[in-house]
Each structure stands twice: as structure tokens, then as C-alpha cells.
Amino acid sequence: MTQQPFNRPGAIDLSALKRPAAPAPTGAGGAPGGAGGAGGAGASSYAVDVTAENFQSIVEMSMTAPVLIVLFSRSRMPESGRLADDLATLSGEFEGKFVAGLVDVDVAPQIAQAMQVESIPLVVAVIDGRPAPLFQDAIGIDEMRTALTQVMQQLATQGMTGRHQPLGAAPVEDDAAEPQSDPRYAAAEDALARNDLDAAVSEYQKLVTANPADTEAAAGLAMATVLQRTQGVDLDAARAEAEVRPDDIDAQTLVADLDLLGGRVEDAFSRLVELVRRSVGKDRDRAREHLLGLFAAVGNDDERVLKGRQSLASALY
């Protein structure tokens, strides 16, 4: 099944974007344009105003780690300006996993024209110089945080675990110039890069066992488990099986996993809530536990998870 563009929000299909064999250049630290965000965006060492003059340099930064470009207009669509501010804020929270490139289309209309943008707001991921649209609605910061967490986890499974240096930082030299990952998650990320999902689950489980309050490790464990369960699964065949076996726990939970990975988060939740509603005994417990795992993968503060928990409570009681 072909992934549709502008899926909002959630995991997207970035399978075509692969890390090239040649070493990725360093140099996020000296990026042009400065940090801080367009016209008052939240302060961040990983946000930069994009202009026609520095556009190519910023695209080249995507060889180190993703660049997320947001196109907006504060004057014509204030909510798009808030989206840009939120992306700048999140770029700081993600600590170099991506750089936020902020394009005010009123200031730099030639960029919007070059990217053939038909409407704003629009957020596009640029990876290894290649664009992949993420979403085009003025979603809230919590929803965006969840979506970007899923995108970064998906990229990690393809070996893309580099980080940018803070913009404007002094250049570093030799082997210190390599993009750095958080050492706590290095073993899990390395396993994901090898597509060794069993090892990734094991490494994340060690982190969660050692520190149950580590929400990033918990989310990583939940998502790695989803990837493990769906590895090699044919989506169309899974849907056909679920269609003819509506009360089969394995068939229904598998499609829910696939929906989650495809960005259809609410569909995944609804499928399992309804399964809980019509199941009894151990089957009901299995469906409920599976749904709780998907909640963890998305993030317990996500609005869709909060609604999903309300629906689950209604189905149970």
C-alpha cells in the first residue's frame, strides 16, 4: 500500500531515504542565518531563519541529520506563525536530532515557489538533501512532539542517528566533529540501525528496568516492539485477514500496529477499543494490554492518547 503524502500526524514512510555510503559532512555548527527563529520564534540553538541566500547551505546540513523546514506567514495566517515557533521550541527539546528551518513566505517567496508550495503552513523533512512532506496543518505542540518522536524513531531504524551541533557553536575538530548521539541510547540505536529489532527491544528494556521514569526509553521500547511485531508483514494481507476474522486478537492487533506506523493513530486506537468492547476474559485483557502499549508508543501526554484512554474506560465499564 502506498503511503499518502501529508499524513498528519504520526509516523511516515521514509523508507526511500537512505544514508549514503560516503561520510556525512559535519558543520551544522557554523550554519548561516543565526539561531532563534523567524521574527520571535522560541529561542533555540537548533533553529534558523531560511532565506534565498542561505537556503542551499541549510539543505546541505541535512547530510548530517534531518532539517525540518516550516513554511508560514505570520501576517496572513497567525496560526502558521505559532507552528513555526513551536517547531523552533521542539528543535531545542530534541537537542540536535533535527534543525528547524523557518521560512516566512512573505519574506522569502522564492523558496516557496522553488518548493512548489500550494498552501501553508507546511512542514517538510529534508534528509540527505531530499524532501519528504510531514504535515500541513497548524497542529498543537504536543501533537507535533509526538509526531516528530515517531519520525525520529523510524529514521533510527534506517541508521540515521546523527545529531547537529548547536548553530553558531565553535567548530570542533577531527573525530570530535562526528555527530553525537545520547550515549544512554547508543546500544538501542545501534541495534535499530542494524535492523536487529530483538536487540533493540532488549536494550530499551534494560533502560526502562533501570529507570522506569525514563519516558524516552519507554517510548523507544514501545515503538521498537511495534516494529518488531510488524517486521516483514504485508499490510494488504493483514487487513484482509482482519476483515474476515473481526474477533481474532492477533489479526486485529497486528492491523492496529500497522495503522500506528502508518500515521493512522486514531484508527489504531479505535480498532482496539472496539475489540475490547466486544471481547471477554483473556481476550479482552490481551486487547487492553496491547492498546496500552500503543498509548506508550505515541506518548501519554498526546491528546489522542487521552481521548483513547477515555474511550477505553467507557468500553471497560
- The predicted pLDDT at position 240 comes to 94
* Chunked mean pLDDT (size 10), the chain, 317 residues: 32 37 36 42 76 86 90 92 94 90 91 84 88 86 87 73 74 44 80 86 90 82 88 90 93 92 88 93 92 85 86 88
Domain residue extents for the chain: 28-156, 181-229, 233-316
In this structure, whether the domain defined by 233-316 belongs to CATH 2.60.40.1220 is answered with: no
User: Three cell numbers at 218?
Assistant: 519507554
DSSP string, 188-235: HHHHHHTT-HHHHHHHHHHHHHH-TT-HHHHHHHHHHHHHHHHTT--H
CATH, range 28-156: 3.40.30.10
Which residue, chain included where needed, has cell 548561516?
32
- The predicted pLDDT at position 182 comes to 67
**316: enclosing H helix or E strand:** helix 303-316
Separation between Cα atoms, residue 162 and residue 177, nearest integer Å:
11
Local structure of 52: helix, strand or coil: coil
Separation between Cα atoms, residue 317 and residue 307, nearest integer Å:
16
pTM here?
0.50
- The predicted pLDDT at position 263 comes to 81
